[in-house]
Amino acid sequence: MRFALNFSTHPGDLEIIGHDWNNARRILEGEGFDGFELYPVGEHAWELIPEGLIIGLHLRFFPILRPFWIGDKRRLLEIFGDEETVAAFYGGPTRESLVAVYCRQLALAAQLGCEYVVFHLAQSEFDYIYNWRFPWNWRETIDICAELITEALADSPFTGELLLENLWWPGSFRAVHPEEIDYALSRIAYPRTGVVLDTGHLLNTNQEIVSEADGIEFLIRAVESLGEARKAIRGVHLTRSLSAEYVTKTFQASPPSLSRGTFWDRYHQAIEHVNLIDQHDPFEDPAIAGLFDVIDPAYVTYEFGYASRGEWLDKIFRQRNAMAGVHRGVKEE
């Protein structure tokens, strides 16, 4: 079992390490981790990243997928307003443009020596993010996402593992039933395909959870219920999200208008809402170690949201304490 920290090339994250990847390495060594799972943002001098520092790469997520993939121009204009914004969002005006985005990211993963990449099997649109009444089912979502990633993997230099990540939206891959995992694996021909279980996303599927103890009990029970399918879980994004109260309130209240302003105004408003659902906090109860009695992943990423080095290190410290029985890597005191 190898342990990683999530990181990105967002300017705020790079500021935390002083734009020096040697500082990033020192954080790994000091905290007892094996590498980073990287979310690449924008342009970067990738050759400056030391060899072996990045063990996984989180592929970009395009939540508004179906209308673009099937060429529904009417719906795209309803959402984006004009064709220029569509092209700006997806990296071009055609399916081939979007496939090319993933081809470049897979090539980057190969360049960095990544052992795995993470890919979401999910979709969402502004009209449904508050009421969760998505007009499609998880099979339809998996089919579209499988077509996209299969095209991107064709002739790709990347030969590591493809790990499929669960989200919480109904109509997407949530990994709450073994049938979802079996179907997803059957739709992607790439031989080294598995699942990365995001514990925060799984917690977000249950609005009855009121405490961390309840959440851990639910996680273990939910994973056990997957039966043999849980053997496909090759990675874990270990993160806590206890947002049931917020989600319940937004179900019951009239959502704020998402019809005003530009597409980008609406998009950033939606991101704020999503961030209130998906909290990316650390576990503090040692009972979380029991999850690893029922699964044996190859990779465990401590996936947190943070705005400063101090906040990041504090979250790492708290979850490392909870995971002391499992995460036994050398940590400098």
Given CA atoms 111, 4, 327, 200 in this order, what sign does their dihedral have?
negative
**What pTM does this model have?**
0.95
Contacts of 89-92 with C-beta under 8 Å, sequence gap 24+, read 89/62, 89/64, 89/263, 90/62
Per-residue pLDDT of the chain (333 residues; tens, 9 = 90+): 999 999 999 999 999 999 999 999 999 999 999 999 999 998 899 999 999 999 999 999 999 999 999 999 999 999 999 999 999 999 999 999 999 999 999 999 999 999 999 999 999 999 999 999 999 999 999 999 999 999 999 989 999 999 999 999 999 999 999 999 999 999 999 999 999 999 999 999 999 999 999 999 999 999 999 999 999 999 999 999 999 999 999 987 767 766 678 999 999 999 999 999 999 999 999 999 999 999 999 999 999 999 999 999 999 999 999 999 999 864 444
pLDDT attached to residue 328? 80
Continuous segment of H or E residues that includes residue 7: strand 2-8
Helices and strands (H, E) in the chain, number of each type: 13, 8
pLDDT attached to residue 258? 65
The domains of the chain, with CATH numbers, are 2-322 (3.20.20.150)
Encoded tokens for 251: 């179900």
Q: Phi and psi for 299 in degrees, rounded to 5?
A: -135, 135
How far apart CA 108 and CA 102 sit, in angstroms, is: 10
Given CA atoms 304, 305, 309, 311 in this order, what sign does their dihedral have?
negative
Q: Looking at this protein, which amino acid is placed at residue 45? A: A
Q: For residue 196, what are the β-bridge partners?
A: 165, 235
